[in-house]
């Protein structure tokens, strides 16, 4: 799975002008399933995200996780993270999992993280979403789990 984490002061997702998910301080997690991904891959990604120390401690060092700071998680599916532009100027998305597999892994990711963390919001799989955020830092971390 591919993910991009953004530490945020706040973030929200809108679909057709309606807010479908929102958090205060925490992490915006854009996530894309790849064809070889499984539920175990999704769980490994969640475990890493929850323990990743990218929030500041009292000394200003990145030493705290989203769990340590009781931050929110806003998880948004984004198949375009698998874009391949090596063949020209039009991206190919063949590296992304087929839609049904992507939906299943996205829903598994949400269910799994909700069992591990109290503040979780999400976007809508396959929808035309508008994502609003105030990046904190900015801190942006790309992740790939196999």
80 is catalytic: yes
- The full set of domains in the chain, from first to last, is 2-137 (3.50.80.10)
Q: How far is CA 41 from CA 99, 117, 125, 136, 145, in A?
A: 17, 18, 19, 28, 6
What confidence score (pLDDT) does residue 69 get?
98
Q: Which residue in the list 6, 41, 55, 79 is annotated as catalytic?
A: 79
Cβ(29)–Cβ(3) below 8 Å: yes
Max CA separation in the chain (angstroms): 47
pLDDT digits (tens, 9 = 90+) for 93-106: 999 999 999 999 99
pLDDT at 46: 98
pTM of the model: 0.95
Q: What H or E segment, with its residue span, contains residue 63?
A: strand 62-64
Q: Is 70 left (phi over 0), alpha (psi -120 to 50) or beta?
A: left
Give pLDDT, residue 16. 97
Query: In the prediction, which pLDDT does 51 show?
Result: 98
User: Any catalytic annotation for residue 101?
Assistant: no
Annotation says 112 is catalytic: no
DSSP β-ladder status, 72-77 and 120-122: parallel
Per-residue pLDDT of the chain (146 residues; tens, 9 = 90+): 999 999 999 999 999 999 999 999 999 999 999 999 999 999 999 999 999 999 999 999 999 999 999 999 999 999 999 999 999 999 999 999 999 999 999 999 999 999 999 999 999 999 999 999 999 999 999 999 98
Catalytic residue among 80, 93, 130, 140, which?
Answer: 80
pLDDT of amino acid 23:
98
49-68 tens-digit pLDDT: 999 999 999 999 999 999 99
In DSSP terms, 8 is beta-bridged to 26, 135
């Amino acid at each position: 799975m591919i993910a991009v984490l953004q530490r945020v002061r706040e973030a929200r997702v809108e679909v057709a002008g309606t807010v479908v998910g929102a958090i205060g301080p925490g992490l915006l997690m854009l996530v894309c399933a790849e064809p070889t991904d499984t539920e175990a891959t999704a769980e490994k990604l969640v475990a890493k995200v929850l323990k990743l120390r990218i929030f500041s401690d009292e000394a200003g060092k990145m030493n705290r996780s989203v769990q340590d700071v009781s931050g929110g998680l806003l998880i948004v599916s984004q198949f375009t993270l698998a874009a391949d532009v090596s063949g020209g100027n039009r991206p190919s998305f063949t590296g992304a999992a087929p839609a049904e597999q992507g939906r299943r892994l996205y829903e598994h990711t949400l269910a799994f993280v909700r069992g591990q963390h109290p503040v979780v919001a999400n976007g809508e799989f396959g929808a035309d979403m508008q994502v609003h955020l105030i990046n904190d830092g900015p801190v942006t971390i790309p992740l790939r789990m196999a």
